[in-house]
Chain A
């Protein structure tokens, strides 16, 4: 998967949780939970969706690494085939 494809999945799933937040103007280096005003239940749903769509099981211990959009993109890129 390419970085762009992964970003598209992240955009898709965050739009589901926070439809009124503009993904493009959101700060990709700030914590997703703050930037998109989502709670721990929403964040868990986000992680669950990434698992379902990309096959990447992010353990709780790695939540800090996927806390921002940039972080999540890099993390997922390194764990999805080609």
Chain B
């Protein structure tokens, strides 16, 4: 079970999409798992052959647990027992996941629960007092908490569990506001040049190939992030780890509530047309409740854009362990001083929320200003 985000501890196997004997290429979808973020397609990391399913759909697996045996190209086939073992042994290439922490007496009054269970309960918003423990001495285990959280299954639509998604948002945003000292900057720019460029580009294109302003915003942020590495990466284990790759997470609102911010990989290197095609594909899949493991796990910076029906500005909450989120408000006509006069110009308010443990306002201002400059020269994006 791959880790699909810093806040993920386990997931449920929904279905296998490949069967033993299937030859697979890196990036092929092997299975679908259900996490708090919704159904996620798990990709294989290398070319090879799926040898054996180790677990069956319905299994709840902690991160690191063995799901299947997979033989990479060039690896020798493992000697296999003559008859399949009645219960698959947990031994495999990866070490078996650690057992839940031993139950300790609670520090104060209240239900007996392991620290891991308490942490999970807090993250999921589950009241420990409402759970009957199944552990030693009636202690509440992580699995008890998870089962309770799953019990009132939310309204399911299009593969999305809105209750679980709301809980995941609550956990990630709560952690962000507890741990990340945000600072905020805003910068309003004249977006007329980008609008004109877009109108001219789209006049030549059939609808299927048209670009949206949102693609320009994402590209500009990605290129600026390349020049300002302190906004692109992860704050983990007390230190900032900048990311070589720039995978911009795109905040996508989901009909009926909730949102997800999966990544568009190598954003800075994509031509606008390719970036737009990936955005369209991603939005369609997210709204259908299907995205891939690599998309959800590895955004290095996030962009949130209110679109043409939003309000003036959005102040983002950083998605941990990322360190920055750039927001774009709706494009609005504003009185704008130009060449000694005042004109009505299309403008957009850009915002930056960044992690003060990693960067300061001065750098943040330069980063945001650079993003604006890139949008002023859209032909070079």
Decide yes or no: A39 and B309 within 8 Å by CB, A44-B210, A44-B212, A48-B208 being known contacts: yes
Separation of A45 and B208 alpha carbons in the complex (Å): 8
A residues in contact with B207, CB < 8 Å: 44, 47-48, 50-51, 57-58
The reply to whether B279 and A39 contact each other, CB–CB distance below 8 Å, is no
Whole-angstrom distance from the CB of A30 to the nearest CB of chain B? 13
Query: Does B14 lie at the interface of the complex (its beta carbon under 8 Å from any beta carbon of A)?
Result: no
Interface size class of B (residues with CB under 8 A): 20 to 34
The reply to whether A57 and B255 contact each other, CB–CB distance below 8 Å, is no
The reply to whether B255 and A18 contact each other, CB–CB distance below 8 Å, is yes
Separation of A50 and B284 alpha carbons in the complex (Å): 17
Q: Which residue of A lies closest to B283 (CB)?
A: A41
Separation of A19 and B280 alpha carbons in the complex (Å): 19
Separation of A33 and B307 alpha carbons in the complex (Å): 12
Decide yes or no: A59 and B280 within 8 Å by CB, A39-B253, A39-B307 being known contacts: no
Would you call the interface of chain A mostly helix, strand, loop, or mixed?
helix
Interface residue count for A (Cβ, 8 Å)? 20
Per-position contact with A for B297-330: 1 when CB-CB < 8 Å, else 0? 0000000000111000000000000000000000
Q: Which residue of A lies closest to B210 (CB)?
A: A44
Separation of A23 and B309 alpha carbons in the complex (Å): 21
Query: Does A34 lie at the interface of the complex (its beta carbon under 8 Å from any beta carbon of B)?
Result: yes
Query: Does B5 lie at the interface of the complex (its beta carbon under 8 Å from any beta carbon of A)?
Result: no
Separation of A3 and B158 alpha carbons in the complex (Å): 32
Decide yes or no: A34 and B208 within 8 Å by CB, A41-B214, A59-B203 being known contacts: no
A-side residues, CB < 8 A to B, are: 18, 20, 33-34, 37, 39-41, 44-45, 47-48, 50-52, 57-61
4 closest cross-chain pairs (CB), A and B:
A48-B207, A47-B207, A51-B207, A39-B307
10 cross-chain CB contacts under 8 A? A20-B255, A20-B256, A34-B309, A40-B214, A41-B280, A44-B207, A51-B206, A52-B208, A60-B202, A60-B210
B-side residues, CB < 8 A to A, are: 199, 202-203, 206-208, 210, 212-214, 253, 255-256, 279-280, 283-284, 307-309
